Chain A
Amino acid sequence: MKDTILRISHLYKSFGSNQVLADFNLELQKGENLVVLGKSGSGKSVLIKCVIGLIEPDEGSIEVLGQDILAMDHEELDRLRVRVGFLFQSNALYDSMTVRENLEFPLRRRYIRNSDTDCDALVMEALANVGLEHTIDMMPVELSGGMRKRIALARTLILKPDIILYDEPTTGLDPITSLEIISLINMIREKYGTSSIIISHDMRCVKLTADRIAVLLDGRCFATGNYEQLSQIHDDRIHPFFN
């Protein structure tokens, strides 16, 4: 039996005259890695920013872990965000803080720290997951692009969210680092049982991470299926992705 953890229904969003999402529908199952595939500027990032409440849609509903996020006030949304992690395309590490402070930031904000030891243990565990314990006292500017992505992933992971939203996790990375990030995404799902929405147009990332793929086209969910199913579709707008 399906266990739906996130449901997007009839979502509409436009910026001025540019209709980005138009009657978009999607469901995410528990423990599933769902990739949203679409060309640049198709509204993939807007979609996941709507899911986390960073962008308010014009119409529709978004149900996350059984709660309608559009009906929530700021405090309720903050509480829900503990259970939803977000990996930004630009990593969004705080420049003025060390790696340790970056990782501690979500913990301290959420009052879940009982003592410094607990906090340190959580930070070290998150860093161990991405294999970067030695960077704990470094500044983000001292890290390579791949290391920054892994630290950002560790920060996303530190609250052990039920759902992780990845915004183009391998964009701008070399093939080897990209493969490392893909392995981490899969490891996180296996180790913590998280469900994920992965925004990507990197077909290697799509192939290696996706249980299911949703193609975002003209603002709506044009097709869903696994990699093999979608690669069989002979549509001029989908086929080039799989070629």
Chain B
Amino acid sequence: MMNLPVGIQSFLKETGEISRFSWRFFKEGFSPRFELSEFIRQCFVLGYKSLPLVGLTAFIIGLVLTMQLRPTMEYYGVEVQIPAMVGVAIFREIGPILTALIFAGKIGSSIGAELGSMKVTEQIDAMEVSGTNPFKYLVVTRTLATTLMLPILTIIADAIALIGAYLGENIYDTLPFNLFFRKVFLNLAYIDLIPAFIKTFFFGFAVGIIGCFKGYFTDKGTEGVGKAANSSVVVSSVMIFLIDLVAVQIADLFQR
């Protein structure tokens, strides 16, 4: 350990600390007292309020993806396969990963900044002094909310992206609504949908736990709050890609 470069040492140290923080989440998250009302409030704040941004991006991506695919598909004479291709791309990869990255940018940074500012202004200490377990009240509720809300947002984003794709298809061609969606779903199997859905729980957990970790251990005043917000986004985005990489490998095993 002593011979390792400083960067690797600090990476390993942080990985260990995040793992311990996650373990504490499972230990304290499933023992009373449960902060149900705060959890519901967080679901509203983190989930419902992210819907416009997630929906807008999903719509644009669906539209643009279809428009960008068309020239190549036409070149090979398979433009009839555009709905199927767009459907697989959206459900398997683009929907989950795009929603998770948008979520990490919006929610990861807000959790990091909120908890960070609570930390430096002693609000977390005040909570503890008033007999509330701040870990349960702040970390468990937010992480559970992100874990449950991201899969729901992803389903909605997938649906909106398909509507965007349908409009994109109809800019150059005329394809009835029913036929477009029939073509999309005809080429989808459960193995396309289930792993993609399951991994969004892990994405949500990563965004929540990393945002909370960065905020909860903020120091160095307002400068630290900025750093917490920033590194929440960076680390959770990297984690999303790493989880995706592992999830794709596991799903691939089942497909063979």
Contact = CB atoms under 8 A, between A and B. Distances in A.
Interface in A29-88: 49, 52, 54, 74, 78-79, 81-82, 84, 86, 88
Interface residues of A, number: 22
A105 interface: yes
Interface stretch (A90-98, A119-127, A204-212): A90-98
Contacts of A79: 131
B45 to A, nearest CB: 9
Interface residues of B, number: 15
A42 B118 CA distance: 25
Contact of A81 (B118, B121, B123, B130): B130
Contacts of B129: 52, 54, 81, 84, 86
Contacts of B12: none
A146 interface: no
B51 to A, nearest CB: 20
Please report whether the interface of chain A is mostly helix, strand, loop or mixed according to DSSP: loop
B224 to A, nearest CB: 15
In order of increasing CB-CB distance, the 9 nearest A-B pairs are: A92-B126, A106-B130, A92-B122, A78-B131, A88-B122, A109-B132, A86-B129, A109-B131, A92-B123
Interface string B116-155: 0110011101111111110000000000000000000000
A88 B132 contact: no
A77 B210 CA distance: 29
A52 B122 CA distance: 14
Contact of B122 (A74, A84, A89, A109): A89
A81 B131 contact: yes
Interface of B: 114, 117-118, 121-123, 125-133
Nearest to A52: B129
A234 to B, nearest CB: 38
A110 B131 contact: yes
A22 to B, nearest CB: 24
A88 B131 contact: no
Contacts of B121: 90, 92, 95
Nearest to B33: A109
Nearest to B137: A109
A78 B127 CA distance: 11
B114 to A, nearest CB: 8
Contact of A95 (B117, B128, B131): B117
B131 A94 contact: no
A88 B122 CA distance: 7
A94 B125 CA distance: 11
Contacts of B118: 94-95
Contact of A54 (B114, B123, B125): B125
Nearest to A102: B126
A178 to B, nearest CB: 20
Contacts of A81: 129-131
28 contacts: A49-B125, A54-B128, A74-B133, A78-B131, A81-B129, A81-B130, A86-B126, A86-B129, A88-B122, A88-B126, A89-B122, A90-B121, A90-B122, A92-B121, A92-B123, A92-B125, A94-B118, A94-B126, A95-B117, A95-B118, A95-B123, A96-B114, A105-B127, A106-B131, A109-B130, A109-B131, A110-B130, A110-B131
A13 B251 CA distance: 53
A229 to B, nearest CB: 33
